[in-house]
Amino acid sequence: MRECVLDASIVLQWFSAAHPASSAGALRLREEFEAGDVDVTAPSLIHLEILNVAGRGWGWGADALAELGEGLEDLGFDLVEPDLAAVVRWVAAGLTAYDAAYVAVAEAAAIPLVTLDRTILDAAPAIAQPA
C-alpha cells in the first residue's frame, strides 16, 4: 500500500470535480484511496481548509456544507498535528502556515505530499509531488 499526505488542493477535487481546477490525478488518487490502495495522512486543519473554500470560495450553503463535513469525517484520514518548529521552518522558506503544516507532516512521516499547489511544489521539491 502506498502512503502519502494529501493537501486540500487534492481533496477539494474529490468533492467538486466540476470546478475549473479539476485534476485527473486528484480524481485517480480518490479511486485508489477508495480501493484501499492509498493510506492518507494529513494535518488536522485539512477539514477546516476544505470547508472554508467550499463555503467562502464556492458559495455553498449550510446544507451542502453539512453534507461535506460528514463526508470529510467519513474519509477516515489519519489526522495529525504538525510539529510547530517544522512549520516555522517552512513558513520562513516562504510558505503560508497552512501549507507549511502539510509539508511538515509529510516530512515527519517521510512520505510524499501530493498537491496541486505550485508554491508548495516549488518550495519543497524533495517532499512535494504533483498529482
Q: What is the mean pLDDT of each run of 10 residues along the chain (131 residues)?
A: 95 74 82 95 97 94 95 95 98 97 98 96 97 89
Domains of the chain: 2-130 (3.40.50.1010)
Whole-model pTM?
A: 0.92
pLDDT of residue 17: 53
pLDDT of residue 106: 98
| Strand ranges (E), 1-131 | 2-6, 38-43, 78-80, 113-115, 128-130
Neighbours of 67 (CB within 10 A): 12
pLDDT of residue 86: 98
